[in-house]
Amino acid sequence: MKTGRNEPCWCGSGRKYKQCHAAFDEKLEKYALAGIPVPERSWIKTSAQIEKIRESCKINIEILDYVENHIREGISTGEIDRWVSRISEKYGAVPAPLNFQGYPRSVCTSINEVVCHGIPDDSVILQSGDIVNVDVSTILNGYFSDSSRMFCIGEVSPEKKRLVEVTRECVKLGVEQVRPWEPIGNMGSAVHEHAKANGFSVVEEIGGHGVGLEFHEDPWVSYVSERGKGVLMVPGMMFTIEPMINMGTSDVYVDEEDGWTVRTADGLSSAQWEVTVLVTQDGCEVTTW
């Protein structure tokens, strides 16, 4: 049902629809009529929601900053899990992974050949030469944030360091392609092209996602997409850029014992950085990193 032009706007701003989102909706409709995929209205965050999500983002960033300042050789991944729990509790926040579809911990810690969803444990001790992804997701007053960083422990081989750096470059190039009224495939294509140019592969079956009001929202975000393809990015959309870049094959498998840990099929290392972006009127804002 369409909103009347003199009725309050659907976004909750309190302004009349004709003075708020009417022109936005008309523009979307023109793209849709031209056969271009456009986002659902539910994917668009309102100004009030964005402010609440930003508050959650601040805690997510603080947690990862703490990890960055304290992670080292000899630390267990179980200890990292306790850091996340403690800082979240300090702010009245909740770690989003905890009990999500049965996941048993507050954070994911993925080492070397583990692509994602590594489960923290006191028996898993970080060793010199390891690369580890720490993936933090936070709920504050019902609003979600999500990001991850890579850490090199002790003396890491040049090959692994290069994997970590190229993966970070992939995210940066992806962010540069987030522009309003452009297809999301431009972002995924930039990621994929840079990874391939450096001799790496991109995991295809696991991607990014919308975030903010739920842990995982639409759209699903691919990093092996084609330029000029995919849903239109529009102001108010929020989604993660989190490519998983493998040193060898892009093939992965899920550990049958725990049902969570994803590993590379060839046992070679994988790296991932994750940021959340908000599409703005003239580009994007990185809200978590």
pTM of the predicted structure, to 2 decimals: 0.95
Q: pLDDT tens digits, residue range 217-270?
A: 999 999 999 999 999 999 999 999 999 999 999 999 999 999 999 999 999 999
Cis omega before residue 120 (within 30°)? no
CATH of domain 41-288: 3.90.230.10
Residue appearing with tokens 């959309």? 237
Nearest to residue 76, comparing CAs of 125, 135, 43? 125
What is the 8-class DSSP label of residue 32? H
Q: pLDDT tens digits, residue range 33-56?
A: 999 999 999 999 999 999 999 999
Q: Where is average pLDDT lowest: 13-22, 59-68, 131-140?
A: 13-22
Q: Where is average pLDDT lowest: 15-19, 181-185, 197-201, 206-210?
A: 15-19
Cβ neighbours of residue 168 closer than 8 Å, sequence gap 6 or more: 150, 273
Q: pLDDT tens digits, residue range 275-288?
A: 999 999 999 999 99
CA distance 15 to 45: 16
What's the Rg (C-alpha) of the chain? 20
Residue 35's region, left for phi above 0, alpha for psi from -120 to 50, else beta, is: left
> Is the pLDDT confidence value at 12 over 90?
no
Q: pLDDT tens digits, residue range 223-232?
A: 999 999 999 9
Give the alpha-carbon dihedral of 181, 186, 187, 190, to 10 degrees.
Answer: -150
CA distance 278 to 44: 10
pLDDT at 1: 61
Nearest to residue 151, comparing CAs of 164, 138, 162? 164
pLDDT at 156: 98
What is the band of 3 on the pLDDT scale with cuts at 50, 70, 90? confident
Beta bridge partners of 275: 241
Q: What are phi and psi of 151, to 5 degrees?
A: -130, 135
Q: Higher pLDDT residue, 103 or 13? A: 103
Q: pLDDT tens digits, residue range 70-111?
A: 999 999 999 999 999 999 999 999 999 999 999 999 999 999
pLDDT at 128: 98
Residue appearing with tokens 């031209």? 34
pLDDT at 2: 75
In 3-state terms, what secondary structure has residue 263? strand
The domains of the chain are located at: 41-288
